[in-house]
Amino acid sequence: MEDFAGTPDLRSLISLASKLRDLANDSHCRGDQALYLLTAQALEQRAEWLAATLPPEKIELPPDPRLHKAVDVTI
């Protein structure tokens, strides 16, 4: 786990859930479809829980020009 709360794991969970949904769409057996969809939903829920534990992103705002006025100093 490189990042906080296992961000690489988060991406893997979403990717696996997506593949399971595709597999459910391609499957002809209703029992298998239900199993694949149930598993995909569980993985998506787990990913949502992991995402909730991530720290908030820092948003860099442009500097306020009123606070950073140039100063003309003559010595």
Nearest to 15 by CA among 44, 36, 45, 35: 44
Q: Is the pLDDT of residue 44 over 60?
A: yes
Total tally of structural domains belonging to the chain:
1
Residue of 3 and 66 predicted with greater confidence: 66
Report the range of poorest mean pLDDT among 14-18, 36-40, 48-52, 59-63: 59-63
DSSP string, 37-69: HHHHHHHHHHHHHHHHTSPPPPP-PPPPTTTS-
Query: For position 68, what pLDDT does the model report?
Result: 66
* Domain span holding position 19: 7-51
Element (H, E) at 21: helix 7-26
Instruction: Output 52 or 42, whichever has higher pLDDT.
Output: 42
pTM: 0.62
Question: Is residue 73 in some structural domain?
Answer: no
Residue 2: what pLDDT? Answer: 45
71 domain residue, yes or no = no
